[in-house]
Amino acid sequence: MESPLMGLLGVAVAALLYHACVTAQAGAHEQCYAEVPEPYDHLATKTPYYVVQNNNDSEEVFPGCRPAQFWLTARHGTRYPGDDDIIHMDRRLPLLQQHILRNYAAGRSKLCALDLDNIREWHQAFDRSMENQLTESGEHELFHMAKRFQKRFPTLLGAPYDPDKHKFLTTTKQRAMQSGRWFARGLFGDQPVIFPKPKTNDPLLQFYKTCDKWRELIDDSEDSRRERYAFQNSSHMLSTISGVSDRLGFVGNMSYADVRLMYDICRYDKSAFPDRVSPWCAVFTELDMKVFEFDNDLEYYWVDSYGNRLNYEQACPKVKDFIDKFSAVGSSPERQPLAHLYFSHLGGVLKFITRLGIFNESRPLRSGDFGTARAFSSSYLSAFASNVALVLFECGDGYHVSAYVQEHPTRLPGCPGQLCPLERLVSQYRDVVDGCDLTTMCASGGWLATMWKTLVWGLPALSVLV
């Protein structure tokens, strides 16, 4: 440990040496991060929505068909970091910042002067009172998404607002409620829109909250993170850590936790302030960013997606919901809403995308797969505001469904083309809907499991005693 006085001295020396070093080091680095025109912006689950959204907002027309109903499930837009993250950032980042400045002053850093200046001037923009709330950039994400969807489907999403025709649903969280509000504002401006009172652990939007078996065996389990931990120990991660440490002038290697913290502040800054340079992103090369992105891919693949069956099996209520809603249109078209609009969280949206079977891998994602071509990408599938829209069309030959992921037309598995006969989806997902019993699916082992373990481990022990 060093004394505060040493720290102060260090800063003073750093300030003195700084000007001397600028000229010496400016040419050492190829390009300053701050001058890269389009820095790498695939930031796993903290990817800003503009990175993945579809900007083509032409009206969607299928000859001989008429849009009949719009169904959307969206993650909230960009949010501020959570409480724990903000506390950790407040505690640790200023120390790292000082260290980095001292290393630079001592001539050990490979950062360019501009990037170093940005780190020097960085101060924590996230206050604990904002924790987990929707950012202003997040408001824009939902507002403009709504406007684009409205242009594509003017007959379903156009004004005027009608509470019987446009059905909104959100979770109890501020970021989800505000996402719904900003989407509504994008569609209907200042017209007041009715939101039903959100339910705690809404069974449609947050089914996983009450799925004990998933929480115990997957979400809280070290075992589902085997691949991720193996990757954290791989040559890719180790060389990222040593590369970052070396670039910042540390004599030894920094810890994974410190490098990860800089990655986190980099991507929170980037998504909250998309138009500014994020100082901490400068400590990473593009390859380093991809290494951390893959570290996240392994987490979400195994804990929320294809890696474990229960991850997506529990998303069946949403499959049942869209099939029920679309089927009702066929039986009583005039009485049905034009749009069902759901605003929730990554957990509910990614599990549903997986349940649909889109972006499936032919084989499980492993720690050794870094750098290989793959369908599963947390940056694409779980960006802020990521969403799936399913749109029902009435055509000459019956009802069809067109799917959109991040607003991009996306063909559903098992379907002949962009338009998929509703009947085909109904039969394709029949088992999913009929077997949708979360009580059974999510029953944790509880005392039974405890007894089983006692038997398995306890009996041999007893027999030894006897």
Ligand X SMILES: *[C@@H]1O[C@H](CO)[C@@H](O)[C@H](O)[C@H]1NC(C)=O
Which residues would be at the binding site for ligand X (CB under 6 A)?
A: 56, 58, 60, 229-230, 233, 238-239, 242, 252-253, 306, 312, 354, 357, 360, 362, 409
Shortest distance in whole angstroms from residue 276 CB to ligand X: 31
**Least distance CB 375 / ligand X (angstroms):** 10
Q: Which is nearer to ligand X, 50 or 231 (CB)?
A: 231
Q: How far is the CB of 137 from ligand X (least distance, A)?
A: 25
Confirm if 204 and 318 have CB atoms less than 8 A apart.
yes
Rounded to the nearest whole angstrom, what is the least distance from the CB of residue 233 to ligand X in the complex?
Answer: 4
* Closer to ligand X by Cβ: residue 136 or 431: 431
Q: Alpha helices of 27-82 — where are they, by DSSP H?
A: none
Q: Which residue lies nearest ligand X, judged by its C-beta?
A: 357
80/306 with CB nearer ligand X? 306
Question: Within 10 A of 203 (CB to CB), how many other CB atoms are there?
Answer: 11
Cβ 329 vs Cβ 69: under 8 Å: yes
Provide the token pair at 441. 């699916």
174-188 helix and 136-152 helix, angle to the nearest 10 degrees: 40
User: Helices in 281-377 by DSSP H: which ranges?
Assistant: 286-304, 309-313, 316-331, 346-356
Measured from the CB of residue 100, what is the shortest distance to ligand X in angstroms?
17
Nearer to ligand X, 336 or 428 (CB): 428
Give dist(CA 238, CA 253) in Å, integer. 9
Cβ nearer to ligand X, comparing 56 with 191: 56
With residues binned 3-state (H G I as helix, E B as strand, rest as coil), the percentages for the chain, rounded to 5, are 55, 10, 35
Helix crossing, 113-121 with 4-26: angle to 10°? 150
**Please, what is the minimum distance in Å from the beta carbon of residue 390 to ligand X?**
15
How far is C-alpha 292 from the chain's CA centre?
A: 14
Q: Which is nearer to ligand X, 98 or 253 (CB)?
A: 253
- Least CB distance from residue 456 to ligand X, whole Å? 26
Q: What is the token pair recorded at 5?
A: 């006085």
DSSP H or E run through 23:
helix 4-26
SS3 58: coil
Strand partners, 75: 344
Rounded to the nearest angstrom, the gap between the alpha carbon of residue 318 and the centroid of all alpha carbons in its chain is 19
* Contact by Cβ (8 Å): 78, 130: no
Strands 65-75, 398-405: pairing is unpaired
Closer CB to ligand X, residue 335 or residue 363? 363
Closest CB to ligand X among 308 and 336? 308
E-strand ranges in 28-99 read 65-75
Q: Collapse the DSSP code of 57 into the 3-class scheme (helix H, G, I; strand E, B; otherwise coil) and give the result.
A: coil
Closer of 143 and 312 to ligand X (Cβ): 312
CB of 156 to ligand X, least distance (A): 15
CB of 299 to ligand X, least distance (A): 15
Q: Which residues in 403-422 are b (16+ Cβ under 10 Å) and which e?
A: bbbbbebbebeebeebbbbb
